[in-house]
Structure 1
Amino acid sequence: MTAWLSANVDLIGLAVNVAMLGVWIVYLQLLLNGYRRQRRSSILITRGAGSGVRSRCLVTNMSVEPIYVTSLIATMISPEGRYEVALTDLRDLPEDLGADPRSTMGQGSLVTGQYIDLGHFDELLVKLGQDRPDAPAPDAVTVLELVVVALYGSSHRPVGAERHFALEPRAAGVRIVPQTVETQQLRSRRARLKLRRQLARHM
């Protein structure tokens, strides 16, 4: 055995070096994946506390770092067409914003796990069409599309998330049904440009 090791010392050294290189590649890949996850925003738009129109619409930050929600844009779809409106620009707010200013304004900083409560879906639909004669009636809306626009990290470009909810009439009342299992994250260059165009329409 000793003679074989002596005769193949160069081959053994090469194998050890290759194995060490493999370990370092795996280690660096894990570090790179962790860095990418840290730099990626993750925003959830969910339905909570039920499945009907009295369920609540929640926006939660699941990113590693805090985000700052700058805008909430909703699109109501009805047989008559699409109607887009910015939730954060609907009305003048009272000076007393209550215990949760972020939910009242639809804006604000969220650390990991914090959420904004946008309220009940039926109240949200009424709020969207309030004092706007061209908006569809709440009971005519078939799909509600929600887009969250936020700032994340040091980037000056906005990131966002989008989710669509169908309003399906049932015997027990209208049911709010998410049209996708997950919230779509808007992080690509193309998606960010689209977000900027949407924001420009509501400035």
Structure 2
Amino acid sequence: MLDWISQNNTLVNALTSIGTLFVWVFYAQLLYMGFSRQRRPRMLINKGVGHEYIDSPCLVCNMSQEAVFVFFIVIRLKTSKGVFTAPMTDISSDSPMDDKPGLRERTRQGPLASGQCLQLTSFREMISTILRREGVETDNGYPCDPDIRLEWLEVHVISTYGSDDKAFGAVRRFRVHADTDTHDVQLQPTSLDTTRRKSWRYRRLARRWLREFQ
């Protein structure tokens, strides 16, 4: 064995160098994947109090390593009459201008630290708000018109992360189950996790929403 190694010293050295290179490439890939995972923004959209069903508050949680800045929030409601879209960035207030509360009590826009949660309104109020905006009369979050059936509700949170100048969207869809007799409305998420969207097509859609709702 030793004789063979000494006779093929050049080949052994070449194989050893190639093996060492593969080891370094493997560890470099592991380090890059860990760094990339730490730099990747992660937002969660969920029902805050599950047993309250449609009256549960919608929670937006920043699970990233750094803070994110929430630009604006949009909700979309699919019905048998089409898809309705409405902004949820600003917090409605009927108080006079002189009695306006602080900025955090007036808008959901702003920085969200790592591990911090932003509480939106309840899902029932979301549905009622978007239907009222479209001129649809509602009864406790349910359309009074029997021809209008609710199918799903989608929450879009448009944000930027750290020093990245490109916005991304955190999106989660909830399937709506509405009983036409009792008007009982329930929501179920269609996916286990929140989807992160950053394609140029989605950013173009976000810019259109920004022009329309801001």
| TM-score past 0.5 threshold | yes
Shift of 1:176: 1.1
Structure 1 residues without counterparts, runs of 5 or longer: none
**Residue 107 (structure 1) aligned to one of 101, 106, 109:** 109
Shift of 1:126: 3.4
Identity of aligned residues (%): 31
Unpaired runs of at least 5, structure 2 = 144-149
Q: Deviations over 1:24-70 (max 9, x none)?
A: 11122123223332332221111231151122211111222211111
2:200 to 185, 189, 196: 189
Aligned residue number for residue 14 of structure 1 = 14
Deviations 1:175-194 (CA, angstroms, capped at 9, x unpaired):
11112222221122332222
1:40 match: 40
Deviations 1:117-153 (A, max 9, x none): 11322233334456x4625633034422111000112
Q: What's the offset of the Cα at 1:91?
A: 3.1
- Equivalent residues of 1:158, 1:196 under 8 A apart: no
Q: Following the alignment from structure 1 to structure 2, what is the Cα–Cα distance between the partners of residues 190 and 62?
A: 25
30 and 135 in structure 1: CA distance in 2 versus 1, 3 angstrom threshold = farther
Superposition CA RMSD, Å? 2.7
Q: Give the counterpart letter for 2:61 in structure 1.
A: T
Paired residue type of 2:185: V
TM-score if structure 2 supplies the norm length? Answer: 0.79
Q: 1:93-137, CA deviations, whole angstroms, 9 ceiling, x for partnerless residues?
A: 764349xx37x622221222211111322233334456x462563
Q: Alignment length, in residue pairs? A: 199
Q: Secondary structure at the match of 1:105?
A: coil
